Every structure is written in C-alpha cells, then in structure tokens.
Structure 1
Amino acid sequence: MLKPLLYIRPKPWQIAISILGVCWGLATAFTSPKLLKEEEQSDFQMTESTPLWTVMGKLGKIKTNQPKDWAKAKDQLTIRQGKELIEQGFTTKEGSSTELLSKKMSCASCHLSVREEPSLDNLDPQKRLKYVDSNQLSFLPGPSFYGMINRIFFFNNDFAKLYDGPYAHLLKGAHFDLRKSMDACNQLFADGREMEDWEKEAILAYLWTLELKMGELEMKKADWEKVEYSIKNNRSNARAVNLIRRYYSEVYPAHLVRPPDERARQMISPASNSFLNGRKIYERSCLHCHEEKRYSRFKLDNRQKTFKRLAANFEGKAKYSIYAAHRYQSGKNWRGIPIFTKERMSDDQLADLRFFIDNMAKMGDEALNYYKN
C-alpha cells in the first residue's frame, strides 16, 4: 500500500527565493538581444593598446584577412612557423625543414616587419626615409608587414597590366585577397614556388601579431571620444569607422613608372640634389640586398672602385643601371628583383642616389668630408 506524500509547508524565505528565481528567469528570457549587446558594448574599454580590428569589430565592421582556424592561428607554434617563413624562407614541420619558398630571397628581403612611417596616414617616401634612417631600419621596395592585416587592397591595376600573359592568373584576385597576394609576390618577385595552404595560414597567423594598435593612430582627443561614445551606445557606428580610417592607410597606392629619360638623368647638381639623402638610400636600401651578396649575386660595398662601376652604367639600359634596378624597364611579364613604385622611392630620391654615387666615384671618401654638412 502506497504511503501518502507528506506536505511540508515552505518557510517564507524559501517562497521569496523561488519568486525571485522565476522573475530572473523571465527577465533573462525576454531581454532584447539588442539590450544585451549594448550592455556588452558598454563594458568594453578602448585603450591605446587595443588592437584596431577589435575596435572596428565593436563598431560592426567585418574583419578582413581572417585565418581559417582562429584557434590554430593563435597557437605559438603556428605563429613561429609564419615568422620563420617570412624571415628565412623556410621553417620546421614535424621535425624536418620545409622546402624553401624561394632559392633567391625571402620575404624579409623586401619587407620589414616593424613600423616604418612616422605617421600612419602619411606615406611620403622622404618622411619614411628619415624615419627608417633614424631607427636604423632598411628602406625597402615592399611595404612593411606591420599593419598588413588592417589593409583591404593589395596588388593594383598597374601590376595587373604588367603581368598580362602566362602569370596573369597569379594576380587574379590578389587585389582583394592577402593569401593570393602572398603567392603572387613569392612567384613573381622572389621567383619562387607556389606556397602551400598551411604556409599561407602560418604567415597570416604571424601577421595578426603585427596588427595596428589604437594608440599608434595618434587620434585627436575629440575623435577618440566620439569613437568611445559610438561603442558605448551602439550609435553612429559608420561615422566612428570613418573617423578611425582618417588616421591610417587601408590602401597603399602603387604606381609603376618608367625611369627618367636620358636628359632628366643628367640634370643633377648640389643645388637640386642631396648627397646625404643619396647616402642614406645607398646604405639603407642598396646595401640591404647587395652587401656581401646578401640577396643578390651583384656585390656592392663602399669602395671607390664599386662606385665607378655603378657610375659607368648610369645611361642607357645597362644591366647594372640604378634605373633598371629601381624602375620597371624590362618589358611585360618581367620577373626578378622587386622594383620601387614612385610611392616607395621618388624620382627626386633616385636623383639623390645618383648624385651620391657620382661624387663617390669621382672623389672617393673625400666626398664624405666635403658633403659632411
């Protein structure tokens, strides 16, 4: 025979807790997702060390250049592999060295992995030269990997026009796709092989460690406060995104220009050219690749004999002309050493380089004292 259930009368405090629990459950169930999002937004604090994409994401902008697997991209082994692929062209995988991306050069031959501009919204090559010289950095043809994942376009139409034959497929989509742009750069400029998917993902993982930080944008206080307001209140987000965009370059312009003509090349003088500027370019750019044949079979040094050899090739289409080395001059589907766009080295800077070489060829080390000031 079943025993009757005993009824135990709850105490007042137990009834109160039950009622509160039900109310809390109903409040949570019927809370608007928008209100929850706003509450989450209001707890977010933007600081100078906050990554740029974190802030853009809070404002509703979809991140570009994202890894396929975020968990793997944050793994230190993957990041290390990406760093090594950039700096030395190979890494280790499962205990063995991987195949070289290129037998001629690595990504670091042409790209820095640190900041190279004094101001992130000003890409003037002369200001960049002064900045890299003062920080003991190189002056290179390729833009820095620092902040690369915060950019939205890569190879532009000038490159598409240059490679319109058997290599055109490499640039198809590279304008919008960082992975395709890695492959195109490695095959066209480094004359390397096609990159494997895991290699591109490893490099991408490393690039995410080089993301821009909000403090580096050097925003005006009023604009900073407007961005903070938008994040906290989830209002005027588009305006906030556009305010941030004013302080860094999402797109790096790149124009492939012909070398100056014969007459323009000869119009150099102390009145219009800077010996010291030319020296900085030679030391920070030319020697970066050519000193002790670091990335090139053509060796350069500071001997007068070397400068005489360079000066003898100023005119025409000589193979070792500084104009052939720095400007596109070899016809379509040209492969090999990277070329400087006019945004990476101006014609004035190229003239300064010639002025420096010309004087070093004529005077040797005496030119260093003569143009000391």
Structure 2
Amino acid sequence: RDLVIRGITTKEGENEETKKQSKHFVCTSCHNLDREDPDLTQADPEARLSYVKEKGMPFLQGTSLYGVINRTSYYNGDYEKKYGKLVYNARNDLREAIQLCAVECAQGRRLQSWELESILAYLWTIGLQLDDLNLDQNEKDKLKNARIGEGDKTAAIEMIKSHYLQASPATFGSPPEDRKEGYDKIGNPDNGRLIYDLSCQHCHERSRYSFFNLDDATLTFKYLERHLPKYTRYSIYQVGRYGTPPLNGKRAYMPQYTLEKMSNQQMEDLRSFIEQEASGF
C-alpha cells in the first residue's frame, strides 16, 4: 500500500526507506483504489462521474485498481497504438502490466521483485467481493450448490465472471473537427464543474502532479477559454484527447482520456463550465 500511494516504503528488517519509484507520479495519480463504477459490467463515464461524486473520489484516466486482480487482460484496445510491442508481455500478465506502468506511465524505474510482490499482495486485499456483483437469489443458490459439490462449478465461475468486465476497454478519441465550434453536443456546466474539480484539479490544483497550475480564478478560465480552439497543450480538446508527451528534463506528462474515461459530451460539459466561469458570471 505504501508503494501504491507514496511510491516508497521501508523494506522489512531495514530502517531506511526505498528509493522513490518515480519522481513524477504514484499509482493514485491515475488510479482510484475503491470501486468507481455503479455497474461493473459497463465502462460508462457518465455513470462513473455521478458515482465518484457521491463517493468523494476523483475522476481519473486510469481504471480503478479495485478488482484489478480479478481481470485477465490489461493495456487493452487502443493502448497498443500508444505502447506498441510493449503491451504484448503485459496484456495477460499483471506483473508485467505493473512494470510497464511503472516505467512508461509513471516515468520511473522498474520495481524490484520484492516491491512488485508487495504491490500484488496489496492488490489481493482490494479484489472484488461477492457483494459487488449484485447476484440475485437464484444465482446465489447456484453458487452455493457449486461450492458444496452439488452444482456445476464451471457454470458458476462463468456466471460470476458475467457480472464484471474481464478487461477495461480503451478507445482513443479525437478532438472535434472544428475546435472553435466543439463537438455536436450541448454542454452542461454543472457536470463540467464536477469534471474540473474531480479530474482537472486532481493533478493541476497547486501543481500537484503538473507544472501547470489550475485554480478557480477568472483569469485562469479566460486563459483556458482562449486556448480552446488552439493546438496547444493548454487546449482541453488537445490534451484531453491526445495527452502530452514526456520531454527530456520534464518527464511529467498528461495521459489522454479514452472515450470510456471521458465522453465527448463530458468534454463539452467541461467547455461550457470554462466559458461560464470565464465570463465572470
């Protein structure tokens, strides 16, 4: 848990803390540690935003580590476009997926074997629980019978797996063709406020994980509004859909949001909030 939250820990039997895994990020920069979806069979960013608001959690680019131990595939979909052959070893191997995240996503060092096993041990403590699956009574009875040898265990396993995603889908989006006009959606500034608070400011408030500070000043929103139609790292369309690359001497970067993590509608919600705040009213 220390390694996941702080990126450092103390090895058993030693008094000194380990070398920080990354100077830039920790696991919780991009991943929650609690359940973040009301329906575990769906990757729905609209439902997720409402859920994390209710639970007091951030709205992030990465999938929650809660239940990651129960999944069978990682770096799915379009992440192969981003990381290429690096995903091959990580696709069906959680250990390799963690190492890929440590080096490429966190821009840090590879984990030592004992650090990796420590993280896995923690992840086993935040696996899915039966209560998360919303089984009906008939399904509970089938599971009970399978456990005592009076039912089909294979069918019971498949039934359980049908109640949660085995892998998190990842589809890269593109900015609107006309960035001045935006996507063909009507923005909701109230939802946009949630995205700004729970997502943008998770990393940018007081430059937590970024050199670019975001606060609630009107001038800040005017700056963001001015960059909306531009092809710069300060345009929500540009960084939301393409992210920013790590640079020499400045390895901290911004990962993009897949469509499963922020919809085009939510992008317009964020825009409408920025425009509302930039107006000063």
The TM-score, its normalising length taken from structure 1, stands at: 0.70
Q: Distance in 2 between matches of 1:240 and 1:265?
A: 51
Q: In the alignment, which residue of structure 1 is the partner of 2:219?
A: 305
- Structure-1 residue corresponding to 2:54: 134
Displacement after TM superposition at 1:244 (Å): 1.1
AA aligned to 1:143 is T
Q: Which of the two has higher C-alpha Rg?
A: 1
CA distance in 2, matches of 1:262, 1:338: 22
SS in 2 for 1:195: coil
SS class of match (1:96):
coil
- Per-residue CA deviation, residues 300-319 of structure 1 (Å, 9 max, x unaligned), is 01110100111111113112
User: Residues 173-188 of structure 1: matches in 2 within 5 Å?
Assistant: 173-188=89-104
Give the direction of change, closer, same or farther, for the CA distance of 1:259–1:131 in structure 2 (3 Å limit). same
**Residues 190, 337 of structure 1: 8 Å contact kept:** no
2: CA distance, partners of 1:109 / 1:254: 18
1:156 partnered with 2:156:
no
Output aligned runs, 1:204-243, within 5 Å. Answer: 204-243=120-159
Q: 1:253 to 1:264 in 2, by over 3 A?
A: farther
Question: Which of 110, 113, 132 lines up with 2:30 in the alignment?
Answer: 110
Contact 2:67/2:126 (8 A) holds in 1: yes
- Give how far 1:228 is off: 1.3
Which among 258, 266, 271 is matched to residue 354 of structure 1?
Answer: 271
Match of 1:3 in 2: none
Alpha-carbon shift at residue 202 of structure 1 (Å): 0.8
Structure 1: distance between partners of 2:242 and 2:226: 20
**Native 8 Å contact 1:259 1:329 kept in 2:** no
Structure 2: where are the runs of 5+ without partners?
none
Per the TM alignment, residue 329 of structure 1 is displaced from its structure 2 partner at its CA by 6.0
Deviation at 1:129, TM superposition (A): 0.3
Query: 1:324: Cα distance to partner?
Result: 2.5
How far apart are 1:124 and its partner, in Å? 0.8
> Matched residues in 1 for 2:150 and 2:23: separation?
51
Instruction: Note the 1:94-105 alignment, pairs <5 A.
Output: 94-105=14-25
Shift of 1:154: 0.4
- Asked if 2 retains the 8 angstrom alpha-carbon contact of 1:189 and 1:337, the reply is no
Cα distance in structure 1, aligned partners of 2:197 and 2:77? 31
The one of 262, 265, 272 aligned to 1:345: 262
Aligned partners of 2:103 and 2:184: how far apart in 1?
37
RMSD: 2.1
8 Å contact kept, 2:179–2:237:
no
**Distance in 1 of aligned mates of 2:244 and 2:57:** 29
1:165-212 Cα deviation digits (max 9, x unpaired):
xxx4x3231111111111111222221122221111111010011011
The Cα of 1:123 is off from its aligned counterpart by: 2.2
Matched residues, number: 275
Deviations 1:223-259 (A, max 9, x none): 1111111222253222111211221111111112222
Q: Hey, what does 1:285 align to over in structure 2?
A: 199
**Sequence identity percentage:** 39
Counterpart pick for 2:10 among 85, 92, 95:
92
1:266 has 2:182 as partner = yes
Q: Does 1:192 align with 2:112?
A: no
Is there any run of 5+ residues in structure 1 with no aligned partner, and where?
1-82, 367-373
Deviation at 1:141, TM superposition (A): 0.5
- The separation in 2 between residues aligned to 1:337 and 1:189, in whole angstroms, is 10
Distance 1:324 1:177 in 2: 32
